[in-house]
A and B are shown apart, each in its own frame.
Chain A
Amino acid sequence: MTGFRIETDRLLLREWREADAAAMYEIGRNPHVAEFLGPPPTRAEARALVAGQALNHALFGHCFWPVERRSDGALIGLCGLNPGPEGTPLEGEIEIGWRLAHAAWGRGFAGEAAAASLAWAWDNLACDRIMAMTVPANMRSSRLMERLGMRRVPGGDFDHPALAKGDPLRRHVTYAIARPAQGVGRAASITAISAASRVDSASARAPNASSAG
């Protein structure tokens, strides 16, 4: 095996391939997925998503990675770490995020991928904390953030600058988790998700990614 891989019991987080755009296109064309993420992508937008994340991985050594289900090799979504977007409270921080196909909901896949991403971040990045954002109505997402040990950031609510005034998805809330004290945090964050993860980061590039670029 060469290249970047994070393996968990059931999932593989890997580098992007051009062919992944087709799956991301289909994932976005589900009304449950779109409820808090906005309109379904065009094929061009799905390709741009893949290219953008691949570029982030090349630049920073991490991105929102494609999530493959190991049992059948299906791409079921994305999860990972990006520089926080400019103009948001996450700017200059590391953001964790996820998006799963509706058919893959309810099985703990997002938690399993996110716990592995967090563990990878503590091992490979110099950041003091990891942040996340979602819209207030997205309870599935905010509940997962809390199960991961993240807590709502007081005063961290904001209007996302990429969304127009009046867009019902414009308002966002912010969550954060501090780097755990040495020796306790990683085990705690993973058992909280009840999905033991084996993180293979030996071949991953691990730059200091505290720059938002």
Chain B
Amino acid sequence: MIGTPRLTLRPWRAEDKDAFAAIINTPAMMQHFGGVAPREQIDALVDAQVAGQAADGFSMWAVDWRATGELAGIVGLRRAYHPDTPITGELETGWRIAERHWHAGVAREAAAAAMAWGWANTRFPRIVAYTTAGNAPSWGLMLRLGMTRRADLDFHHPRYGPGDPNGTMVVYAVDRPTPD
């Protein structure tokens, strides 16, 4: 468990699936992920985090809004798992925050805490993140988190066809901070 002023980041439980689908699988939330998805895909995302937590000790964690205990999103760390990309196997951070909590710095608060956890508890030399070029709020946050645009690491997401602009990923990265 990771606590921040407003949030708790914690491993997923099977019983989170209904609440997760309710906040995540909306047209606005899925705008940059190919649109509203079948429920099985959403459930599989939770299953993958449970498996990742067991294997690595970290995952894209469930984010609870502390004041109410409600699920507010998913933020955390994973090994970038899509095969044959320039960042496969690297420590990746990412976020999806429920619409009702947008524009309030929630993703930034959670991601900064997740990255601090990553530096403290893993030996990865850098943390990467990626999104589509059209998702300015997301890559804007990557910049605000101290990440740098890394065009040399860009790739086409294997989930999307070769000509699909949703599959054109822009990659950002930040090196492990050196103590000063």
Contacts and interface: CB of A to CB of B under 8 A. Distances in A.
A39 to B, nearest CB: 4
Q: Size class of A's contact patch?
A: 10 to 19
Interface stretch (B36-44, B84-92, B138-146): B138-146
Contacts of B136: 29, 31, 34, 40
Contacts of A29: 136
Interface in A49-101: none
Contacts of B140: 34, 39-40
Contacts, number: 31
Given A31-B170, A34-B139, A167 B146 contact: yes
Contacts of B147: 168
B148 A168 contact: yes
Interface in A117-158: none
A30 B139 CA distance: 10
B128 to A, nearest CB: 14
26 contacts: A31-B133, A31-B139, A31-B149, A31-B170, A34-B136, A34-B139, A34-B140, A34-B143, A34-B149, A35-B149, A35-B151, A38-B143, A39-B140, A39-B141, A39-B143, A40-B136, A40-B137, A40-B139, A40-B140, A166-B146, A166-B177, A167-B146, A168-B146, A168-B147, A168-B148, A168-B174
Nearest to A164: B146
Interface of A: 29-32, 34-35, 38-40, 166-168
Interface string B140-180: 11011011110100000000000000000010001001000
Nearest to A34: B143
A167 B147 CA distance: 9
Given A31-B136, A38-B143, A168-B148, 11 more contacts: A29-B136, A30-B133, A31-B139, A32-B151, A34-B139, A35-B151, A39-B141, A40-B136, A40-B139, A40-B140, A166-B177
Contacts of A31: 133, 136, 139, 149, 170
B55 to A, nearest CB: 31
A159 to B, nearest CB: 14
A5 B136 CA distance: 33
Nearest to B145: A39
Nearest to B131: A31
B129 to A, nearest CB: 12
Interface string B5-35: 0000000000000000000000000000000
Nearest to B142: A39
Nearest to A39: B140
A32 B136 CA distance: 11
A31 B140 CA distance: 8
Nearest to A30: B133
Contacts of A34: 136, 139-140, 143, 149
Contacts of B148: 168
A34 B151 CA distance: 12
A21 B5 CA distance: 35
A35 B170 CA distance: 11
B149 A39 contact: no
Nearest to B103: A42
B82 to A, nearest CB: 19
A30 B135 CA distance: 9
A38 B142 CA distance: 10
Interface string B48-72: 0000000000000000000000000
